Structure 1
Amino acid sequence: MPTASDPDQLPAMGLRFELTAEWTAPSLARNRVRQWLVAQDWSAAAVDDLVLSISEAVSNSVEHGYGIAVDGPVQDLNSVVVVEGSVVDEPGGYRRVVLTVVDHGHWREPDTGPTNRRQGLRIMRACTEELTVTHSADGTKVVLRSWPIPVSRPSR
């Protein structure tokens, strides 16, 4: 199974990788997505927002989808988080990134008690134009759509 640290070539417009559902996964996802966005000539501020969003989505998959406690051991090496990304052309000379995070864990309704945690969905909403979360018996799918940015023009 490829990991975010694999030295393979990054796709020109698409991204796909799988991570074992463990607490190193968010860091690996951040690094891989940042590298891919920079290769797509994405703006620095937009890169930071998307990297934070993907980190939160992968963290939620690990903790809530697979029930792995913070600093807890990996429970099943076959539990994976899949991350995909694509650059989509928009009308008027714009483009956006669509990032998808999929797990095959079990959805749990968020605890509503007092805490300084549980800000992941709020962070993802603040850092993207659109956040969609769907869950079923097969797992959870998070789709993050960036705000559109202008298509890069080749320098002369």
Structure 2
Amino acid sequence: MTEDCEYTNVPPASDQDERPQFDTAANSLRPAGRDTAMSFTLTADWVAPSLSRNKLRQWLGAHDWSPAHIDDLVLSISEAVSNSVEHGYGIAVDQASPDHPEVIEVHAEIEPEPGGYRRAVLTIVDHGDWKQPGTGPTNRRQGLRIMRACTETMTIDHSSGGTTVVLRSWPIPVPLSRG
């Protein structure tokens, strides 16, 4: 099932590698020495949202993304990764880090847009079981609304093999060259 929506406390220390792995494919949008794609894999635990936020913030900053746009995308990826942990893999918010092999895959790419613009496309994949959100009253379950508000488009595709969330940022101008 695909849902396609378009819209014009300190975490514990982790032994996960916090250095992004950048794609080395050639791309005309790449500012000097910076790759326009990165991918990383996280262990599905409650440290994963923090690690994804840090990696994305660093990568977008290296590409001259504005602080406000970075904040929106960092919040969006944090929500998507948190949903994978809690809803995809069923790890409760008060549960200690489980001893399991489940992972969350993240891919980020900067795509050129017409007229001298660019956008970030974030893809978050888990291989867990989709759990339909509850309908009772709560202060929680705001993640999808947050992701929709912070991005131009959000697509969720869930199947028996897991869930894929694709978040597309609002287009922003390509930065002036540093020459």
Give the TM-score band, short-chain normalised.
Answer: over 0.9
Q: Residue 157 of structure 2 aligns to a residue in which SS?
A: strand
CA contact under 8 A between 1:23 and 1:62: conserved in structure 2? yes
Q: Does 1:154 align with 2:167?
A: no
Matched residues, number: 154
**1:67-92 deviation digits (Å, cap 9, x = unpaired):** 00002133343100011100000011
**1:16-63 deviation digits (Å, cap 9, x = unpaired):** 000000000000000000000001111111000000000000000000
Work out the percentage of aligned pairs sharing the same amino acid: 63
Alignment of 1:105-120 (within 5 A): 105-120=128-143
Residue in structure 2 matching 1:90, options 99, 102, 113: 113
Greater than 3 Å deviation, 4+ residue runs: 8-11
Residue number in structure 2 paired with 1:134: 157
Q: Residue 79 of structure 2 aligns to a residue in which SS?
A: helix
Q: Given residue 51 of structure 1, which amino acid in structure 2 is its aligned partner? A: V
Name which of structure 1's ranges 75-84 and 35-44 shifts more when overlaid on structure 2.
75-84
Q: Residue 100 of structure 2 aligns to a residue in which SS?
A: coil
Residue number in structure 1 paired with 2:18: 5
Q: What root-mean-square deviation, in Å, do the aligned CA atoms of Structure 1 and Structure 2 show?
A: 1.6
Q: Residue 49 of structure 1 aligns to a residue in which SS?
A: helix
Q: Residue 131 of structure 2 aligns to a residue in which SS?
A: coil
Gaps of 5+ in 2: 1-14, 24-34
Q: Does 1:69 align with 2:82?
A: no
Name which of structure 1's ranges 72-81 and 126-135 shifts more when overlaid on structure 2.
72-81
TM-score, normalising length: structure 2? 0.82
Q: Distance in 2 between matches of 1:3 and 1:33?
A: 15
Q: Does 1:56 align with 2:79?
A: yes
Gaps of 5+ in 1: none
**1:76-135 deviation digits (Å, cap 9, x = unpaired):** 431000111000000111000000100000001100000000000000000000000000
